[in-house]
Homo-oligomer: A and B are copies of this chain.
Amino acid sequence: VIGTSLGLALTARGVSREAVVFEPEAEAREQIARRGLAAVDRLDSLPPDPDAVWLAAPPAAIERLLPEVARRAPRALVTDTASVKRSILEAAARVRRQAPAFLFVGSHPMAGSERSGAAAAAADLFLGSPVAICRLPGVPEAAAAQVARAWQLAGGVPLSLTAEEHDAAVALTSHLPQLAASALAAFVARRAIPESYEEAFLGPGFRDTTRLAGSSPSLWAEILQRNEDHVRPLLEALARDLAAWAGPSPAGSWEERLAEGRRFRRRLEGE
């Protein structure tokens, strides 16, 4: 969904004269072709000497592809779309030690869709979405500015920060909610309520709170493994908070606790 949306957005906005997608899976290639983009099944079949390479894949695949991209497209400006940035920038830094001209800038478009695949792609997927831009130390500012400008033309709102700042922020704002949603869904799954009640009682509140639990386990395992040093202490602290809420409490404390969460929600909604 991210790669094809990018191809559509960059082509529609005139950023790309020619966009070709590398996609190893035949069914996905057909979907991409149906969306009007060229798709090839081998890296060999990509146009030689591209101006830019966008890596829209899970983190492990991006890290694996980087050395090969540096070999095949030595003059290209290369960026990615992964939800973690330190491990990606570390992999790019290793490539740059062999190929000092390799121009890599990390990107994380904070857009998405619950759906995946090219069929769910849209040229306006990034419209108004924040895009974290993490420059690899040593790579010229001008390269980061070019990547930021391309995202802007694709509809995004670029935001410069270091990979460390990025990964700390997403640990709190994205990875912890993901784990809380998954833990709650797994918890309820293990405590069977009579099946005849299930549909009645698992209403919109439960469904919203656990919506993120529908995300891809294999993709998220890759993301979480790469951000464990930020995520684990937060998870521990949240577990301590919940345990404290479960403990004996003075009267009225439920209300105070709930009020704190509501104040933040209201501020967030601009109320």
Further contacts, 16 of them, CB under 8 A, given A214-B266, A235-B245: A169-B193, A169-B197, A172-B193, A173-B202, A174-B205, A178-B258, A180-B242, A183-B238, A185-B260, A186-B261, A189-B260, A208-B212, A210-B261, A214-B262, A217-B262, A233-B246
Residue A146 CB within 8 A of the other chain? no
- Chain A residues numbered 199-219 whose CB sits less than 8 Å from any CB in chain B: 199-218
Give the CA-CA distance A243 to B236 in the complex, in Å.
5
* Closest B residue to A110 using CB positions: B203
> Which listed residue (B209, B216, B246) contacts A208, Cβ 8 A?
B209
A241 near B187 with CB under 8 A, answer yes
Residue A182 CB within 8 A of the other chain? yes
Residue A142 CB within 8 A of the other chain? no
* Closest B residue to A271 using CB positions: B214
Please, could you name 10 A-B residue pairs with CB atoms under 8 Å apart, sorted by A? A130-B203, A159-B200, A169-B193, A173-B193, A181-B261, A183-B257, A186-B241, A220-B255, A235-B245, A236-B243
Contact count band on A:
35 or more
Contact A263-B189, Cβ < 8 Å, known A209-B180, A232-B246: yes
Chain B residues with CB under 8 Å of A198's CB are 268
Chain B residues with CB under 8 Å of A44's CB are none
> Which listed residue (B181, B187, B257) contacts A238, Cβ 8 A?
B187
